[in-house]
Structure 1
Amino acid sequence: MKHAFEYDCLIVGGGIAGTVTAKQLQEKGYKVALIDERAPSRLHLAESLPATIEPLLQRLGLLELIKSPPHFKHTGMVSLWGSSVPQVMPSVAQHHGWKVDKWSIIEQIKSQLPSACVISGKVKAVAIQQNGWRCHIKKNGVKTDFEIHTRFLIDASGRQGYLPRVLNLHRHTFDKLSAFVANVTVHSPLDAQPSVVVEAFQDGWTLTSKISDNQSMVAIFCNQYTPEFSKFKYAKNWPEVANQTQWFKKVVSNGEFEVKILNASSHIVSQLSGKSWLLVGDAAMSFDPLSSHGMTTAIYMAEKAAHAIDRLFNGDNNALGQYSKTMADIYNSYLNELLGCYRLEQRFKDSKFWQSKQHFSDEEVRNIVG
C-alpha cells in the first residue's frame, strides 16, 4: 500500500448529504476527498422538497439546479388518512415545492466539484491518529490500495453507517418500517394527477409519487405485524392491498414490475460527533417517508456540518457539540410530529401495525423524545 495523501476532510458516502457537505467545505477553501462506492440506482424514489427550502437552496447555490428537468414543481398532496374522503393539501393549483430526481441532482452537484475531489471507491479501514485519521482506500478499477491522511472524517454513508460500526455506537430505532417500492408506467395518464397521494389501509399505508406524466413511484409501507409481510416482494400480490385503496389501485395494475425492499424506519445514533469526526444525513438519523423530511433535513444537516467543521478548524471547540444538539432537537421534534400523524388514523383500531405506530414502546426512544 502506497501513495499517502493529505486532506482536511474525508467524506465517506456520495449521497445528497455527503455531496452537499463536500461542496460547502470545498467552497470554504478546504481540501476535501469524497469517497463514493455506490452506483446510481435505477429505482426512482420521486423525492419531494417543500417550497420553504428555497432560501436554503439559494444559499447553497442549488436552487437553479432544480428549476429544469428532470426536476419539476410539486403540485400538492392528496391524503386519504383518517378518512375515506380525499383531502387535498394544499390546493393543487398552488406551488408546493419541488419533485426532485435525487440521483440527477447529486450528479449535478458533483460536476461542480474538482475532479480530484471525488474518488470512486471504498473505505476499507480507518485508524484514529493524534492529529486526525489514517484511512485505507480501495479505488474502483485500481489494484493498488492507498492511504489518505485527513484531519477530519465525515460519515455520510447512509442508514447502515460506517463510523457507528467502527466506533461501536448505539442506534436508537423507533420502529421496523419497511417499504416495498416500484416504478410503474401510467399507461393512461390520470387527469390532474397530484404529485403525491398517501392512503392508509388495514395493515399499513401506500404512497403514489409522480415521476413524470406517464411514470410513478409506488410503495407499500408495512412491518413485521403485517400479515404475510414478505409476499409484497412480488408484484402479483399487490392487488390485495390496491383493492383496499381509491387512488393506489388506479396506478397499480396487474402487470409485472420489479419490487425493491427498503428500510424506512426512523433512527438516531447515540453520538453524532466526536473530537475529529461527525455523522451527517442518514448515517446520523433517518426519517419515516411519511414526514417528507428526509432529503430536506439531509441538505440542512450538510450545511450545518460544514459550518461546524469550519468553526472547529478556526478554534471553536464547542462547534461540534452545538451541531449534535441541534440535530438531536430536530429529531426530537420530528418524532413527536410523526407520532401525531400516525395517531390521526383511527379507523383500524385492531391493527397491530397502527397500534405499533401510535405509541413509544422503547424506553430509550422515550428518553430521546422526552
Structure 2
Amino acid sequence: MAARLSHALHAATQPSADTQPVVIVGAGPAGCATALALARNDPSTSLRVLLLDDADPTAYKIGESLPASARRTLATLHPSLNATLAQDTLQGLHHVCTGTASAWAGAALQETYALMNPYGAGWHLDRARFDETLRAACAPVLRKARFVAVRRCTDGGAWEVDAEMAPEGAVETFRARWVVDATGRKASVARKLGAKTHKHSDLLSFYALFTTPAGAAPTPDSDGRTLIEAARAGWWYTAPLPHARRLVMYTTAPTDASARAARGAAGFADMLRTETRHVARALGGASSDIDIDIDDTDEEEARVEYEMEEQTRFVRHTSACSAVLAPYAAWEPHAGAGDGDRGEAQKQEGRGWCAVGDAALAFDPLSSQGIVTALDAGAFLGGVLARHLGTAEGGPLGGEGAVRAVHEAYERVRAKYEEGRAYYYGVVRRFDKGGGGEEEEEQGKGFWEKLRGE
C-alpha cells in the first residue's frame, strides 16, 4: 500500500501540464477514504492521485461519534487504521463508547449497550487526532494547500485546479480528469461548477466544551455513554471526550427563541439547568457562573463535576440541517455523443467531478452517522473511479456510467436516512399541545410539530 501511494505522489508532483486522473480537495474522512480506496484498487500502482487539504490539526472539530461498524471499512482502506485506533484508545487518546441512553419519546432513559452490538463498542473520538491518523495513511499523496479555483480546460478533456501551497503561499495549477469535492458542507468545488445545495428542516446546533475544574482531583468519568435528551424546543446531547472533557450540544430551529438564548454561555448553561434532567446530571454541576442544581435521588450521583471552559462568553454553533447537493456528480464527454453511442475507449474520454461526504449529503447530527457514512462513501467512490480509470476489477465503466452509479448509491443512502429521521422525530409527542403535565408550555411547542410537517 505504501509503495502504491509513494508512486502516486511522485506522479502527482510532475508539472501541471501532465494531466493526472484524480485530484481530491479536502482530506477529512471522506477525502482520505477516497484516496485510500483508489490506491487499494490499483494493483499496478499506476494510478496518480493528489489530495489537497489546508485543515488546521490543532483546531477543535465537532463530530466525535464513530460507530463500531466503522472497523469494517477502516480495515478495507488501510491495514494500519484499526491498529492505530486501538492503540490510541488504550493510551486514552480516544474513549470507548459503552452504549447510548436517550430520553426521547418519554422522560425516562432508554438504553442500548455496546455489548449487544456484533461489531463491539464504538468511540468518542479526539476528532483532530482521528483525522490526522487518516491523513498519515495518505501522506504520500497529501499536499498542504488551500483550494482556490477550478475551471474547464479549453481542450475539453480535463480540469485545472488552482491551489495555494503551504507554507510558501505560491499558487500551483494541477490538471485532472476527475475532481473530487470533499470540502464538507460548503461544497466549495461543486458550487463553483454550478451545483446547488438544498437544505431541509433548517436546524442549528450550539455546542460547548466542559472540563473538570482546575485543581480538582483527576477522577475518571465512568459514564461512557452517548446521552440524548429531548426538550421543549429542541434536543440535547452529551458525550465524554478524551483529555477530561465533555461535549454538550443543543439543537433547535434557528428562528426559535431558545436559539438566541443559547448563543451566550450564561444562557446556554441556564437552559442546560432548566431544560434537561439527564444531561445536567451527566455534568454533575456544569456552569458558566451558574450552578446546576441536581436533586434527583433515583439515579447514582455523577462521579465527575464539570464546568464550562474558561473565558467562554459565546457558545459555538454549526449548521445541523440535512443538505443534499444537486447534482452529486457530472461527466462531460470530450466530444461527440454520450456513453450509449460511443466505443469503450471513447467512453473514458472527458472529465468528471463528484462530491463525497458532507459535500454531497450532510446529515442531521441525531443520526451520529456523519463519519462512518463519509468513510463508506469514500470507499465506494474510490472503487467506482478506479473502475472507470481501468485499475479495478469489475469491467470498464464509462464516465456517465460512473456518475450514474454514484447517483444511485447516494440516493439509496439518502432515502434510508430520511426514513430513519422521520421516524425518530415523529415519535416525540410529549411536548405537543394537550400533552399535559409540566412539559406542556407555549415556548417551543411547535418545534416537534414543524419537524413532523404538521
- Same fold per superposition (TM over 0.5): yes
- 2:339 pairs with 1:316: no
Is the Cα–Cα contact under 8 Å of residues 148 and 163 in structure 2 kept in the other structure?
Answer: yes
Q: Which amino acid aligns with 2:28?
A: G
Deviation at 1:356, TM superposition (A): 2.0
Deviation at 1:213, TM superposition (A): 7.4
Hey, what's the Cα distance between the residues in 2 that align with 1:213 and 1:151?
43
Instruction: Name which of structure 1's ranges 87-96 and 174-183 shifts more when overlaid on structure 2.
Output: 87-96
Q: Alpha carbons of 1:138 and 1:5: their partners in 2 closer, same or farther (altered >3 Å)? A: farther
Instruction: Name which of structure 1's ranges 19-28 and 285-294 shifts more when overlaid on structure 2.
Output: 19-28
Which of 418, 431, 435 is matched with 1:348 structurally? Answer: 431
Is the Cα–Cα contact under 8 Å of residues 206 and 262 in structure 2 kept in the other structure?
Answer: yes
Is the Cα–Cα contact under 8 Å of residues 183 and 215 in structure 1 kept in the other structure?
Answer: yes
Identity %: 23
Q: Which has the larger radius of gyration?
A: 2
Question: SS at the partner of 1:342?
Answer: helix
Q: Which amino acid aligns with 2:94?
A: H
Q: Alpha carbons of 1:239 and 1:92: their partners in 2 closer, same or farther (altered >3 Å)? A: farther
Q: Which amino acid aligns with 1:49?
A: L
- 2:82 pairs with 1:63: yes
Instruction: Name which of structure 1's ranges 258-267 and 296-305 shifts more when overlaid on structure 2.
Output: 258-267
Q: Which amino acid aligns with 2:160?
A: R
Hey, what's the Cα distance between the residues in 2 that align with 1:214 and 1:67?
19
Structure 2 residue aligned with 1:32: 49
Hey, what's the Cα distance between the residues in 1 that align with 2:147 and 2:121?
39
Hey, what's the Cα distance between the residues in 2 that align with 1:284 and 1:230?
29
Q: CA RMSD in A?
A: 2.3
Structure 1 residue aligned with 2:127: 102
Alignment of 1:289-368 (within 5 A): 289-314=365-390, 315-317=396-398, 318-350=401-433, 351-359=445-453
Give 5+ residue unaligned stretches, structure 1: 361-370
Hey, what's the Cα distance between the residues in 1 that align with 2:86 and 2:132?
15
Which of 22, 25, 29 is matched with 1:16 structurally? Answer: 29
Which of 101, 107, 119 is matched with 1:84 structurally? Answer: 107
Paired positions, count: 358
Instruction: Name which of structure 1's ranges 94-103 and 192-201 shifts more when overlaid on structure 2.
Output: 94-103
Which of 149, 171, 181 is matched with 2:207 structurally? Answer: 181
Is the Cα–Cα contact under 8 Å of residues 97 and 114 in structure 2 kept in the other structure?
Answer: no
Q: Alpha carbons of 1:141 and 1:55: their partners in 2 closer, same or farther (altered >3 Å)? A: closer
Instruction: Name which of structure 1's ranges 275-284 and 256-265 shifts more when overlaid on structure 2.
Output: 256-265
Deviation at 1:51, TM superposition (A): 2.2
Hey, what's the Cα distance between the residues in 1 that align with 2:137 and 2:157?
29
Q: Alpha carbons of 1:313 and 1:203: their partners in 2 closer, same or farther (altered >3 Å)? A: same
Hey, what's the Cα distance between the residues in 2 that align with 1:136 and 1:254?
45
Instruction: Name which of structure 1's ranges 62-71 and 7-16 shifts more when overlaid on structure 2.
Output: 62-71
Structure 2 residue aligned with 1:4: 16
Hey, what's the Cα distance between the residues in 2 that align with 1:24 and 1:296?
15
Deviation at 1:91, TM superposition (A): 6.2
Q: Which amino acid aligns with 2:64?
A: E
Per-residue CA shift, 1:280-301, capped at 9, x if unaligned? Answer: 0000010111111111100000
Is the Cα–Cα contact under 8 Å of residues 182 and 217 in structure 1 kept in the other structure?
Answer: yes
Is the Cα–Cα contact under 8 Å of residues 46 and 211 in structure 1 kept in the other structure?
Answer: no
Is the Cα–Cα contact under 8 Å of residues 154 and 278 in structure 1 kept in the other structure?
Answer: yes
Q: Which amino acid aligns with 1:21?
A: T
Hey, what's the Cα distance between the residues in 2 that align with 1:300 and 1:119?
23
Q: Which amino acid aligns with 1:14?
A: A
Question: SS at the partner of 2:152?
Answer: strand
Deviation at 1:114, TM superposition (A): 4.1
Q: Alpha carbons of 1:352 and 1:261: their partners in 2 closer, same or farther (altered >3 Å)? A: same
Structure 2 residue aligned with 1:221: 251
Structure 2 residue aligned with 1:113: 138
Question: SS at the partner of 1:238?
Answer: helix
Hey, what's the Cα distance between the residues in 2 that align with 1:323 and 1:122?
26
TM-score (norm 2): 0.74
Structure 2 residue aligned with 1:253: 287
Hey, what's the Cα distance between the residues in 1 that align with 2:243 and 2:131?
23
Question: SS at the partner of 1:111?
Answer: helix
Question: SS at the partner of 1:297?
Answer: helix
Hey, what's the Cα distance between the residues in 2 that align with 1:173 and 1:3?
40
TM-score (norm 1): 0.89
Structure 1 residue aligned with 2:327: 271
Is the Cα–Cα contact under 8 Å of residues 206 and 218 in structure 1 kept in the other structure?
Answer: yes
Hey, what's the Cα distance between the residues in 2 that align with 1:67 and 1:119?
27
Is the Cα–Cα contact under 8 Å of residues 225 and 352 in structure 1 kept in the other structure?
Answer: no
Hey, what's the Cα distance between the residues in 1 that align with 2:184 and 2:111?
32
- 2:262 pairs with 1:238: no
Is the Cα–Cα contact under 8 Å of residues 325 and 361 in structure 2 kept in the other structure?
Answer: yes
Hey, what's the Cα distance between the residues in 2 that align with 1:281 and 1:107?
17
Deviation at 1:190, TM superposition (A): 7.8
Hey, what's the Cα distance between the residues in 2 that align with 1:5 and 1:79?
55
Per-residue CA shift, 1:252-291, capped at 9, x if unaligned? Answer: 3234534211111111112111111111000001011111
Is the Cα–Cα contact under 8 Å of residues 66 and 72 in structure 1 kept in the other structure?
Answer: no
Per-residue CA shift, 1:134-162, capped at 9, x if unaligned? Answer: 11221133243221111210000000101
Is the Cα–Cα contact under 8 Å of residues 262 and 271 in structure 2 kept in the other structure?
Answer: no
Q: Alpha carbons of 1:192 and 1:127: their partners in 2 closer, same or farther (altered >3 Å)? A: same
